[in-house]
């Protein structure tokens, strides 16, 4: 038996924090189509079901297109059971829009719900602020099954987390006869042993949306041997585009053109496909006089990729003592900033850098 485990699709996410309207619209369509492609993959594999462990959607005001596309995907494949457990980003907009729910759409609520597929016994519960503290301990006992449990929340080794999201205390689920704990909420693939019998796994998001979601994304394919009660799982990369955040050490560069040469070398060795999204992270120590122009660097490299941005994470090579006896306006400025307790220590270097550039007549971008 084949099952797919996916989570955190965040369909219909606005994606407007970085992308312009046209590219945000394109990415929303691509991520929605990635879900369609994953369903077709499941059909080609003869999968019995798809486990959606939360955050299928991203907001309550869903577009008609997103709602109908997901509904049609489900209805087109009556041979596949869709097990949909809502996460903390899901609302009732999708389900309430259905005039009649497809028979192959299986849902959960805030109590343990069980579905059987041959010898496979699938349990799931939607965690809430009210039930999260005690719910896991109430998982019913079971024997002679291949047991899968679906949950959405942050795994932890204790319930002492101060996070607002539901916490899944793994201690409450150990030695409970679980073969595979199908989780959602963490956007990167993670898989570890739960106990001697089973494993817990986050498939990660299906398609990355921001630069905190770099690398491969996709779903987990479960191959279940019902006769022997064994589950083999493997991660399947499936995203339409990847996100990259290469770090470029520009220590000691004299100017922006030299920084561009360093970036060129890193991009050439990284061989990033042109359809991907890139954030150049500049690191290292640079002098005040280097005057690195991020706008220029973005303009120079942006046409190579679907999207590109640059971030200055360098530190300034500046010794305030060099300006101590400087009687110029530059020296007075540096001494004032260094003595001002309202300027945080972590920001002093950048404030001094911008100020000295401005005093030198350079255009400063804030």
Q: Which of 210-214, 228-232, 357-361 has the lowest mean pLDDT?
A: 357-361
How many separate helices (H) and strands (E) can be counted in the chain? 7, 20
| 365: confidence class by pLDDT, cuts 50, 70, 90 | low
Mean residue pLDDT across the chain = 91
Give the DSSP per-residue string, 296-307: HHHHHHGGGSSE
Query: Tens of pLDDT along 270-287?
Result: 999 999 999 999 999 888
Quick one: average pLDDT of 19-35? 95
Q: What is the pLDDT of residue 161?
A: 45
The tokens describing 70, both together, are 């997901």
Note the CATH number of domain 2-237: 3.60.21.10
Domain chopping of the chain, boundaries: 2-237, 243-359
Q: What is the pLDDT of residue 319?
A: 66
Residue 18 has pLDDT above 80, yes or no: yes
Cβ neighbours around 217 below 10 Å, total: 26
Q: What is the pLDDT of residue 187?
A: 96
Q: What is the pLDDT of residue 231?
A: 97
Q: Which has the closest alpha carbon to 87: 170, 221, 177, 202?
A: 202
Residue 252 has pLDDT above 60, yes or no: yes
Locus of tokens 């693939």:
189
10 three-class SS: coil
Q: Which has the closest alpha carbon to 40: 94, 79, 87?
A: 79
Q: What is the pLDDT of residue 163?
A: 55
| 36: confidence class by pLDDT, cuts 50, 70, 90 | very high
| 72: confidence class by pLDDT, cuts 50, 70, 90 | very high
Q: What is the pLDDT of residue 320?
A: 65
Quick one: average pLDDT of 318-332? 76
Residue 361 has pLDDT above 70, yes or no: no
Residue 232 has pLDDT above 80, yes or no: yes
- As a whole number of angstroms, the distance between CA 87 and CA 110 comes to 11
Q: Which of 52-61, 92-101, 232-241 has the lowest mean pLDDT?
A: 92-101
| 357 or 95, higher pLDDT | 95
Quick one: average pLDDT of 252-275? 95
- As a whole number of angstroms, the distance between CA 187 and CA 243 comes to 13
CA–CA–CA angle 218, 222, 224 (5° rounding)? 175
3-state secondary structure string across 67-131: HHHHHHHHHHCCCCEEEECCCCCCCCHHHHCCCCCCCCEEECCCCCEEEEECCEEEEECCCCCCC
Residue 162 has pLDDT above 60, yes or no: no
């Amino acid at each position: 038996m084949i099952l797919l485990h996916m989570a955190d699709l965040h369909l219909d996410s606005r994606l407007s924090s970085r992308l312009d309207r046209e590219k945000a619209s394109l990415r929303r369509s691509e991520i929605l189509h990635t879900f369609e492609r994953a369903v077709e993959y499941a059909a080609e594999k003869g999968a019995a079901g798809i486990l959606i462990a939360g955050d299928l959607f991203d907001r309550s005001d869903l577009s008609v297109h997103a709602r109908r596309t997901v509904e049609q995907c489900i209805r087109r494949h009556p041979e596949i059971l869709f097990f949909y457990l809502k996460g903390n980003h899901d609302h009732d907009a999708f389900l309430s829009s259905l005039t009649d729910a497809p028979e192959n759409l299986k849902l959960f609520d805030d109590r343990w719900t069980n579905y059987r597929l041959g010898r496979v016994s699938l349990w799931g519960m939607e965690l809430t602020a009210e039930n999260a503290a005690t719910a896991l301990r109430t998982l019913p006992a079971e024997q002679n099954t291949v047991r899968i449990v679906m949950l959405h929340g942050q795994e932890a080794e204790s319930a002492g987390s101060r996070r607002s999201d539901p916490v899944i205390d793994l201690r409450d689920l150990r030695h409970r006869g679980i073969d595979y704990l199908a989780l959602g909420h963490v956007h990167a693939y993670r898989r570890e042993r739960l106990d001697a019998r089973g494993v817990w796994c986050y498939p990660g998001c299906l398609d990355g949306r921001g630069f905190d979601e770099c690398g491969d994304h996709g779903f987990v394919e479960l191959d279940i041997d019902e006769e022997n009660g064994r589950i083999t799982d493997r991660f399947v990369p499936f995203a339409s585009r990847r996100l990259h955040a290469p770090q470029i050490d520009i220590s000691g560069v004299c100017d922006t053109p030299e920084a561009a040469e360093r970036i060129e070398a890193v991009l050439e060795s990284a061989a990033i496909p042109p359809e991907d999204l890139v954030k150049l992270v500049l690191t290292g120590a640079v002098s005040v006089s280097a005057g690195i122009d991020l706008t220029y660097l973005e303009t120079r490299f942006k046409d190579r990729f679907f999207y590109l941005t640059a971030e200055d994470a360098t530190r300034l090579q500046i010794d305030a003592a060099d300006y101590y006896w400087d009687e110029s306006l530059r020296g007075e400025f540096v001494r004032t900033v260094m003595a001002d307790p309202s300027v945080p220590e972590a920001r002093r270097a950048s404030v001094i850098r911008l100020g000295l550039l401005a005093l030198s007549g350079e255009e400063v971008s804030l």
